[in-house]
Amino acid sequence: MKNEHKKLERLLLFSEVAQSLSFTVAAGKLGISRGHLSAQIKKLESDMGVPLFIRSTRSVRLTTIGERMMSGMDKIRLAMIELERNAEQEGQTIEGMIKITAPTLFTNRYLLDITAKFKHLHPGVSFAIDCSYTNYDLNRNDFDLAFRSTKTPPLNMIAKALISYCHITCASSEYFVKNGKPRTPHELSSHQCIRGQDDNTWSFNDSEVPANGWLQINDNLMLKQLALSGEGIIKIPSYFVDREIEAGLLEPVFEISSVSKNQIQIIYPQLFQQSKRLETFIKFTIEHFRHLAVQRTSAFNLCN
């Protein structure tokens, strides 16, 4: 690949000399020494096995093969100009695909709504969303941006915090009528704690307590549905049950939350020039959560 890069570089140097038919003039335009330019052209001729210029003490002319190469380089130059124009247009046009990786819960609660609203404003935009908890390297994977729950985003990325949340322990009033309401975390051991897989203990500000119950399942949406049906107590990110708590469909068990707060951040590469669609979507998303911040529900207040 390195040799291909050098060959392309020498072809572009050849093109400059061929246009001016002067090594001195071409070197001046390129900002390099005449000696270096001459050496690179000689290397190109050696690699190709044919002379490209007829040199004399007073003039430089193209050989027949040199003229054909010059015609080919003109086509390459036109293609490069077209690419630059397309890139410039792409940078200013709000259309095309935005590729996102984001957690499933965040996608369900917020991202689908955000993308639908943005699509309504900018019909030329489409989205591809990967619902994943994998911390992809955005410099190596084909994603424009990521949403992640983290307090320590990658140092080589731009990150902006969108929301803070904790984990809420909650259940339906139907469950509490049938089974009573625990007053402390330690009383959870005698209740049906429906939990995720490998989630056998629940952490609180001052303790770790065993989470016993009839079911483990690795789907938070199903956990919420089971809690709404009165099947048990769940511990789940506050932003995923804020509307249900506000509507009275679920009730927090305690006036305390899990051990620590978390943050959802929007993360994207540090690009010299960002596309207009991506820049606009990032601003739209940040403003969306800024607007929500003044409408914090009881689920969020429990985290404060």
Which domains, and CATH codes, for the chain?
2-91 (1.10.10.10), 93-165+262-301 (3.40.190.10), 167-252 (3.40.190.10)
The pTM score is 0.64
Per-residue confidence band for 293, with pLDDT thresholds at 50, 70 and 90: confident
- For the chain, state the CA radius of gyration: 31
Q: At residue 129, what is the residue type?
A: I
Render pLDDT for 98-134 as a digit per residue (tens, 0 to 9). 999 999 999 999 999 999 999 999 999 999 999 988 8
Render pLDDT for 206-265 as a digit per residue (tens, 0 to 9). 778 888 889 999 889 999 999 999 999 999 999 999 999 999 999 999 875 555 678 999
Q: What is the DSSP letter of 216?
A: B
* Separation CA 222–CA 130 (nearest Å): 20
- Based on DSSP, count helices (H) and strands (E) in the chain, helices before strands: 11, 12
CA distances from 287 to 93, 103, 104, 118, 160 (A): 20, 20, 22, 12, 12
Burial of residue 232 (number of CB atoms within 10 Å: 0-12, 13-18, 19+):
buried
CA distances from 226 to 34, 66, 160, 174, 222 (A): 78, 76, 34, 12, 6
Kind and range of the H or E run holding 210: strand 207-210
Pairing of strands 201-204, 207-210: antiparallel
3-class secondary structure, 6:
helix
Per-residue confidence band for 88, with pLDDT thresholds at 50, 70 and 90: low
Backbone dihedral region for residue 252 (phi beyond 0: left; psi -120 to 50: alpha; all else: beta): beta
CA proximity to 136, closest of 125, 124, 147, 151: 147
Q: How many CA atoms lie within 13 A of 93 on its CB side?
A: 12
